[in-house]
Structure 1
Amino acid sequence: MTPETDPSALSSGLPGRRPPLARELAFGLSLFALYAVAAAVPVGDRHAAAADHGRQIHDLERTLHIAVERPLNDWLAAHRSVAVVANYEYATVYLVTTLWALAWLYRRRPDRYRVARNSFALINVIGAVCFALWPVAPPRLVPGLGYVDTVLTHGTWGSWGSPVVDHADRLAAMPSLHVAWALWVSVELARLQVRRSLQAAGVLHVFVTLYVIMATANHYLLDAAGALAVVWFAYLVTDRDPGRPRPPIVPPEDAFFLAVESDRTPQHVGGLIFLDAPDGSPSREDMIATLRGKLDELPRLGQRLSPASRLRRRRWVGHPVIDWDWHVHEAVLAEGGDAGLNALVGVLQSEPLPRDRPMWRMILVRGYAPDRSAVIFLMHHVVADGMGVITHVLRLLTPPDALPAAGAGPSATRRALGTVTGIAQLAAESRQRTRLPSTGTAERAFGTFRLPMPVIRDLARKHRVRVTDVVLCALAGGLRRVMQPAGGPEGGRVLRVAVPLMTGGPVVPPEGNHTSAVMVDLPYGPMPEVERLRALAAATRRLRSGTRALASAFVMQRASRALPPVLHDAFARAVYGGRTFQAIATNLPGSNTPTRLAGAPLIAAHPIVPTGPGAPLAVGALGWTGMLNMGVSTEATLVADIDALCGAMRDVIEELGAAEAPEPAEAADARAARRGRGPSVRG
């Protein structure tokens, strides 16, 4: 169920609920500030450029034989009383009617207000950009055209062009916001289906405004045409009428992974699942039957992306005919065992999922072992994140299982303060120093290993760290043992890793929870692994503070909504990948309940995590029925042998398990006091 059809949306700040007035007022002030900034943008000699642009429009109208402004201006200038009325109409009526419409919509029609507010905002943003980049002087201010300034001639106090509003941008003729605002009011009256007399008044207001802007020599006819184009475009982009069913929009934080994907860096996540199947079960038909029965619960399995556009966000649209031969495929390994299976996963990771169909695949693998079957489940990151893949798998199991509930999260005030703090922290981030040798090849290598979860938890408790710290230490230490990346002094090398964190609510939807990535610098120099773990535990404190995660989530989920798709995609490509981090490491919660998939007992599940552009390494850890299941993905050229890297990571964990636990600070202080040296000092 999408927000467009979910009744609970009324209590979640989605369409149907009136937004906070203070936020709306702040939004309006930001539009005014944008207009002021546009007026201050230097464009060489702004007045000369604006006058030149005005002459160009005037000459074009004469060429097209539509230059009607001069006779209208001559007549109005000769009739003082009418001119004064027209001047005041130009200065006030468009503003009063627009504010009235916004206030009425906010108070009486909050379901429509958000749509109207968004279109009105986009109209003004486009206008401000035009004013900044291509200022245009109105006819009355272009020397040599012979127009009469009716405000100055007839001394209309308080009108546009008079000293009272001398601060207004006079070089903002194209497009005419007076006409654009009048058109916007008329469109909203029509959309609301108010009585016909009021709609007729709205249309009359448009024509009166059109006459006034030309007769007072404040605009050209083509300025009004520009306003019409801007209003049409604004509604084309922003119209989200809740009364009309529309496919759900792909959120910007999900579209992020469409932008960064290329043929060399596919962005699908997934899992490698092992089933106990001495009788060869399940069959491909069993898998299809299981999936068919869950399509209503897992809507993205039956949806595809709408066509791409540089200006409109993609939507999820129905794809009624599913090609089961492609989506659920059966493969037989030529070489059994882990080597053949991992090689198949690497091949599938190297191939982007096509975007003309639902973006997921399930491969039932035979020939792995006589008494086991394997299932490779892949979904594009736009469909679901790592948690989303796990959620899909759990809903396919028998009996159905659920993810452990997350916390309720911080209050709105703490979230706001944490976001501001996190943005400042992100702005102060230093540049990464160590780089892994990424060749940009599309070929992937994949490896797995498993460790008992009680052993990992005992190790973490012994060293007073978290399981994530152990995973990160195994990554840094294991990589250190199999290769020596260049960059930075040997003793001070760090490997910057993106660690995804959940920032959404306590319930994980099928598409996954809201995630954000926090960068952590892993100590990479030569050192005992226990010292690496201690240094790393200090570095991962930023994961527990939550401020950077909140800031990252704000940028991904909120701020990026203000960008059109073409700019959003450019932003995604600029910040995601090798320029920002060199590896991805994630630790995911799984299930501890014995379950079955299509009738076969599920033994293990290893995460499949995509690498990033220029970031050739990704590691996933998943707790499942008492085991920590690791999945390691790399560019095929990063290490000579992926199994050697997995073995080195195991060796690091074994070394940590054999190392002595660090002495508690209290015991060290007491021992130092007995020796007469005072308490120890620790950073």
Structure 2
Amino acid sequence: MLLPIAPTDSLFLLGESREHPMHVGGLAIFTPPDGATAADMRAMLDTASADGQITPLFRKRARRSLTTLGQWGWDTLADDALDLEHHIRRDSLPTPGGMTELTALVSRLHSTLLDRSRPLWEMHLIEGLTDGRYALYTKIHHALADGASTMRLLRAGMSEDPHRRNMPAPWQVPHPPTPPPSAEQTPPITDASPTASALSTVRGIARTTVAEVTGLIPATVSTLGGAVRGTGGAIALTAPRTLFNVPIGAARHADARSFPLERIRLLAKHADATINDIILTLCSGTLRTYLHERNALPAAPMIAMVPVSLRATDTTTSHSPGGNRVGVLMCNLGTHLPAPADRLEAVRTSMREGKSALRAMSPTQVLAMSALAVAPLGAEMFLGRRGPQRPPFNIVISNIAGPPHPLYWNGFRLDTLHPLSIPTTGQALNITATSNDDHLVLGLTSCRRTVPDLNPLLDHLDTALDHLETALGL
């Protein structure tokens, strides 16, 4: 029996084409323990694959049938029906086996579509790094998981103990299923009959639904009013056209730059800002310099779409539900302002206003306003071309919280995690930040035709950080 796919998740299937692969990815780079080699890693993966239950998320296949009225649904395969040899690949880098060769390979892998006749994920064990490390590139369809749920899977499949061994493979259930509640944990029996309880539940759902629908009208009016005034919120009406807001091709280019997380924390503390405010300000300075060098800097400030996770804040659970629970904020990046401190103030003000607007809404209303905000982009994806109107925003900048402590898989230490995301028609560049232990990584994913070389942008990130520290007296 097919389970229906949530409307938000199905959009990533409906909008996918050869030019628009709809998967996200991550490049994890590991250092082996003393005396271990990539051959040991291969052997451990092979051993783990022979036993253990595969995570349900990795057994879900997208299908259509009469039971779903032609709409996409999830078909969950049995463990023995999953062809692991298709999903688990091995690649080797050409000489000299450095980061240049690694990012070139991962960029090509990130450009190809996932096979829809199978569960929508792949993992590539990459060998040949001359420094003795090895890499694991994973891509998973955005209909299956968003960044927050993917990070939960990563953390649940690893350990903070460098001496732990016999751990399951990354695609397997990391822990035994949670046992059923004991007698002491069983909820008390109420006097209500099952029928009365069911009727009470239905009435509660109906009241909630009516309240949500009624609340959408003032939420929409407030959101559109904020967009007209240029204050922060889920919708923006002032994004200028830039060289990033053009039709895209299928080829991707991905790279990343890492910074000590303490530098970012110190800036945030000194400026009474959030870490995300600092990240957005670094991106603002980088984009301003990059466009100015090409005589393409717009007079109006660029607008970033900033995804906001609507999941519970607890990220320790190993049972990630997958799917997407994401709202959006539109952030004024202040790219028209020459001073770094002024750009930070523009970002901070915009994000504070936006968060205040979202706090006044329920999660359902946030999702509805977010859907309205990205509707023009969705229309462009389905049409396969940019429309004549202004872009709804100029760039997507995400921040996904990563593990705060070193993580290990069977003694192999996770050194760094490079996020890879989704450019779309009208959005040829995506920036995703994530943290790992004591470092912050900014991952850039672009349409190769529009932004063929990411090195200038990466170098401008370094410069933007230096300039912001100088402006704040650090």
Q: TM-score range by the shorter chain?
A: 0.7 to 0.9
Match of 1:355 in 2: 116
Per-residue deviation at 1:620? 1.0
Matched, 1:499 2:300: no
How is 1:64-103 mapped onto 2 (pairs within 5 angstroms)?
none
Q: 1:377 aligns with which of 138, 141, 148?
A: 138
1:250-278 per-position Cα deviation (integer Å, ceiling 9, x unaligned): 11111121122221121111211010026
Matched, 1:268 2:65: no
Which amino acid in the other structure matches residue 37 of structure 2?
G
Residues 587, 291 of structure 1: alpha-carbon distance in 2 compared, 3 angstrom cutoff = farther
Secondary structure of the equivalent of 1:378?
A: strand
Per-residue deviation at 1:551? 7.3
Per-residue deviation at 1:339? 1.0
Contact 2:9 2:324 in 1 (8 A): no
Per-residue deviation at 1:471? 1.2
Q: 1:307 aligns with which of 48, 52, 64?
A: 64
Match of 1:367 in 2: 128
Per-residue deviation at 1:638? 3.1
Contact 1:619 1:630 in 2 (8 A): yes
Per-residue deviation at 1:636? 1.3
Which amino acid in the other structure matches residue 348 of structure 1?
L
Q: 2:458 aligns with which of 646, 649, 652?
A: 646
Which amino acid in the other structure matches residue 516 of structure 1?
G
Q: C-alpha separation between the residues in 1 aligned to 2:310 and 2:215?
A: 12
Matched, 1:633 2:394: no
Identity, in percent, stands at: 23
Q: C-alpha separation between the residues in 2 aligned to 1:249 and 1:374?
A: 35
Matched, 1:396 2:203: no
Greater radius of gyration (CA): 1
Secondary structure of the equivalent of 2:3?
A: coil
Match of 2:240 in 1: 433
Secondary structure of the equivalent of 1:473?
A: helix
Matched, 1:533 2:344: yes
Residues 261, 549 of structure 1: alpha-carbon distance in 2 compared, 3 angstrom cutoff = farther
1:349-396 per-position Cα deviation (integer Å, ceiling 9, x unaligned): 211111110101111111123321111111000010011211121122
1:498-542 per-position Cα deviation (integer Å, ceiling 9, x unaligned): 111012334562416611122223222250222211122112223
- Higher RCO, 1 or 2 (CA under 8 Å, sep at least 6)? 2
Contact 2:239 2:300 in 1 (8 A): no
1:58-81 per-position Cα deviation (integer Å, ceiling 9, x unaligned): xxxxxxxxxxxxxxxxxxxxxxxx
Per-residue deviation at 1:475? 1.4
Q: Which runs of 5+ in 1 are unaligned?
A: 1-245, 403-411, 561-568, 663-683
1:392-445 per-position Cα deviation (integer Å, ceiling 9, x unaligned): 21122135999xxxxxxxxx89x9598655422443432422323434111111
How is 1:284-683 mapped onto 2 (pairs within 5 angstroms)?
284-287=42-45, 289-290=47-48, 295-296=53-54, 298-307=55-64, 311-320=69-78, 321-335=81-95, 336-398=97-159, 421-428=218-225, 429=227, 430-437=237-244, 438-484=246-292, 490=298, 492-507=299-314, 509-511=320-322, 514-525=325-336, 527-547=338-358, 550=361, 553-554=364-365, 556=367, 573=382, 579-660=391-472
Q: C-alpha separation between the residues in 2 aligned to 1:571 and 1:489?
A: 24
Of the structure 1 ranges 437-446 and 323-332, higher mean CA displacement relative to structure 2 is found in: 437-446
Match of 1:14 in 2: none
Larger helix fraction of residues: 1
Q: Which runs of 5+ in 2 are unaligned?
A: 162-173, 176-207, 228-236, 372-377
1:532-579 per-position Cα deviation (integer Å, ceiling 9, x unaligned): 11122112223422528957854757998xxxxxxxx86984899984
Residues 295, 510 of structure 1: alpha-carbon distance in 2 compared, 3 angstrom cutoff = farther
Larger strand fraction of residues: 2
Residues 549, 453 of structure 1: alpha-carbon distance in 2 compared, 3 angstrom cutoff = farther
Secondary structure of the equivalent of 1:398?
A: coil
Contact 2:64 2:70 in 1 (8 A): no
Secondary structure of the equivalent of 2:345?
A: helix
Q: C-alpha separation between the residues in 1 aligned to 2:53 and 2:248?
A: 36
How many corresponding residue pairs? 397
Contact 1:439 1:637 in 2 (8 A): no
Residues 588, 291 of structure 1: alpha-carbon distance in 2 compared, 3 angstrom cutoff = farther
Match of 1:50 in 2: none
Residues 495, 538 of structure 1: alpha-carbon distance in 2 compared, 3 angstrom cutoff = same
Of the structure 1 ranges 518-527 and 253-262, higher mean CA displacement relative to structure 2 is found in: 518-527
Q: C-alpha separation between the residues in 1 aligned to 2:270 and 2:293?
A: 31
Q: C-alpha separation between the residues in 1 aligned to 2:53 and 2:139?
A: 16
Q: C-alpha separation between the residues in 2 aligned to 1:609 and 1:616?
A: 11
How is 1:180-191 mapped onto 2 (pairs within 5 angstroms)?
none
Residues 439, 285 of structure 1: alpha-carbon distance in 2 compared, 3 angstrom cutoff = farther
Contact 2:251 2:447 in 1 (8 A): yes
Residues 481, 420 of structure 1: alpha-carbon distance in 2 compared, 3 angstrom cutoff = same
1:602-623 per-position Cα deviation (integer Å, ceiling 9, x unaligned): 1111211212222011111112
Per-residue deviation at 1:627? 1.0
Contact 2:334 2:343 in 1 (8 A): yes
Residues 433, 603 of structure 1: alpha-carbon distance in 2 compared, 3 angstrom cutoff = same
Which amino acid in the other structure matches residue 600 of structure 1?
F
1:433-484 per-position Cα deviation (integer Å, ceiling 9, x unaligned): 2323434111111111111111101111112221111111111211222234
Q: C-alpha separation between the residues in 1 aligned to 2:362 and 2:109?
A: 34
Which amino acid in the other structure matches residue 619 of structure 1?
I
Secondary structure of the equivalent of 1:334?
A: coil
